[in-house]
């Protein structure tokens, strides 16, 4: 049974992985004997709570501090931005007593949302009881949280070839590869998961082939295709091993096709091509960083977060992000100084900067060269709209994400 006390305690530990994973809400959600790793339990609960908070917002954009957005605002300021009650009262122009009333009301609504989500999850699990094999795979993958990023496919394949080189030598099998024939290919995938998958495919091919394995990386209009081809010595035995190797890819939704004819096996793995858009977030609040990651979860772009503002200029100069999201209230070096340094340097002056902070001074932000100024807490629609307007390429990415299956 989920209570408001459980939810309130979890919110207070939103940024404390161990305390969140071992709290009463975790026991109510996963049971006292859950075998999920602590980090995975905390990740699931954090995502559940943040989605619940976002669901309390108005269906249409409403001004910050308005009655329609009050529940979203007080929960975001208290538990994501970690502001005290007096500071929240000042930000919302309310009395301290009113903030406490609104906060308790919002916590009660969030408790209902969390309980509903957990009940739905429980029904889904009961309706589809996993097999022992599927359950073992699910547990293994749950300890392997995926973090898709933009990566160079050729580098991943080169490292995989190094890993399987001793096996290739022992089996005296030749590997032909032309991964760099078309230049660098960038795709969006989890580096560790993709590396393990490619190593598994190459190992399978080497052990199943008599003489030669072909490895290719091809560029299509919107995707990058990795192909592994070989002549199988025992086609029936090979098919069973192919299924064992490819099952993890299917379980996380990676499109992987297997074709076999006349003893020849071709396995193709299709990855989304990496976009040209990258965003650098300069923010010392882990909650805000996690929120921005969720806002961008359905957008095929690369997000990099910096909690140390003194590294911003050099990172921007070296990596040339398409847009920078900049907080103002940070230790050691405040955001105004960072913005001034970025805009007075010829090497970084053309990079759009979106100021996103509880400090509300759009006039100063624009005078220093910011392309937009957002006041926290910022909604997903405001955040994405600012990116779309400030950075060329984001508008097309957002449109593609909205039109994709499951897009919002």
Same domain membership, residue 181 and residue 163: yes
Q: Which domain holds residue 133?
A: 4-142
Query: How many whole angstroms separate alpha carbon 137 and alpha carbon 140?
Result: 5
pLDDT at 294 over 80: yes
Same domain membership, residue 395 and residue 319: yes
Mean pLDDT of 109-119: 86
Same domain membership, residue 314 and residue 231: no
Within-domain flag for 408: no
Chain segment 12-58, per-residue pLDDT in tens = 888 777 788 888 888 888 776 666 666 677 778 888 888 888 888 88
Element (H, E) at 271: strand 264-272
Mean pLDDT of 227-254: 77
pLDDT at 401 over 60: no
Average pLDDT over the chain reads 81
Q: 3-state class of 406 per DSSP?
A: coil
Which of 214, 239, 272 lies at the terminal end of a domain, its last residue? 272
pLDDT at 308 over 80: yes
Name which of 110-114, 298-302, 392-396 the model is least confident about. 392-396
Same domain membership, residue 164 and residue 78: no
Same domain membership, residue 215 and residue 124: no
pLDDT at 90 over 80: yes
Highest mean pLDDT among 133-147, 331-345, 376-390: 331-345
pLDDT of residue 117: 81
pTM of the complete model: 0.44
Total number of domains in the chain = 3
pLDDT of residue 243: 75
Name which of 187-191, 210-214, 217-221, 251-255 the model is least confident about. 251-255
Q: Peptide bond preceding 377: is omega within 30 degrees of 0, i.e. cis?
A: yes
Same domain membership, residue 129 and residue 10: yes
Same domain membership, residue 71 and residue 118: yes
What are the Cα distances from residue 151, in Å, to 4, 303, 331? 42, 12, 31
Highest mean pLDDT among 35-49, 125-139, 176-190, 202-216: 202-216
| Helices and strands: H and E segment counts in the chain | 17, 12
pLDDT of residue 406: 42
Q: Give the pLDDT band of residue 407 (cuts 50, 70, 90).
A: very low
pLDDT at 140 over 50: yes
Say which residue, 404 or 233, is predicted with more confidence: 233
- CATH number for the domain spanning 363: value is 3.40.50.2300
Same domain membership, residue 334 and residue 354: yes
What are the Cα distances from residue 288, in Å, to 293, 294, 307, 329, 348? 9, 10, 11, 13, 24
Within-domain flag for 297: yes
- CATH number for the domain spanning 205: value is 3.30.565.10
Residue with the two structure tokens 């001004």: 63
Q: Give the pLDDT band of residue 403 (cuts 50, 70, 90).
A: very low
Same domain membership, residue 258 and residue 161: yes
Same domain membership, residue 135 and residue 11: yes
């Amino acid at each position: 049974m989920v209570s408001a006390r459980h939810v309130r305690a979890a919110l207070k530990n939103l940024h404390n992985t161990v305390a969140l994973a071992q709290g009463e809400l975790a026991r109510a959600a996963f049971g006292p004997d859950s075998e999920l790793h602590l980090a995975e339990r905390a990740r699931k609960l954090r995502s559940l709570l943040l989605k619940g908070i976002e669901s309390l917002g108005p269906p249409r954009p409403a001004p910050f501090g308005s009655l329609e957005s009050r529940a979203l605002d007080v929960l975001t300021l208290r538990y994501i931005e970690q502001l005290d009650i007096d500071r929240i009262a000042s930000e919302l122009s309310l009395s301290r007593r009113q903030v406490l009333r609104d906060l308790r009301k919002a916590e009660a609504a969030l408790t209902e949302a969390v309980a509903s989500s957990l009940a739905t999850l429980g029904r889904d699990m009961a309706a589809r009881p996993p097999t022992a094999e599927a359950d073992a795979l699910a547990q293994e993958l749950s300890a392997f949280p995926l973090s898709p990023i933009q990566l160079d496919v050729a580098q991943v394949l080169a490292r995989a070839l190094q890993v399987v080189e001793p096996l290739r030598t022992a089996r005296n099998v030749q590997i032909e590869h032309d991964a760099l024939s078309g230049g660098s290919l960038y795709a969006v995938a989890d580096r560790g998961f993709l590396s393990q998958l490619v190593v598994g495919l190459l190992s399978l091919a080497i052990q199943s082939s008599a003489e030669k394995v072909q490895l290719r990386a091809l560029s299509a209009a919107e995707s990058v295709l990795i192909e592994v081809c070989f002549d199988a010595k025992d086609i029936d035995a090979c098919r069973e091993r192919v299924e064992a190797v490819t099952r993890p890819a299917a379980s996380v939704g990676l499109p992987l096709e297997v074709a076999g004819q006349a003893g020849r096996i071709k396995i193709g793995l299709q990855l989304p091509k990496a976009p040209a858009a990258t965003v650098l977030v300069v923010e010392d609040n882990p909650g805000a960083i996690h929120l921005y990651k969720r806002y961008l979860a359905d957008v095929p772009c690369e997000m990099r977060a910096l909690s140390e503002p003194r590294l911003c200029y050099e990172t921007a100069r070296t990596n040339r992000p398409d847009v920078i999201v900049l907080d103002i209230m940070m230790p050691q070096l405040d955001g105004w100084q960072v913005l001034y340094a970025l805009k007075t340097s010829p090497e970084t002056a053309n990079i759009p900067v979106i100021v996103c902070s509880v400090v509300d001074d759009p006039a100063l932000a624009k005078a220093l060269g910011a392309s937009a100024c957002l006041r926290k807490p910022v909604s997903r629609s405001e955040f994405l709209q600012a990116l779309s307007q400030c950075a060329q390429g984001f508008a097309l990415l957002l449109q593609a994400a909205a039109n994709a299956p499951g897009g919002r």
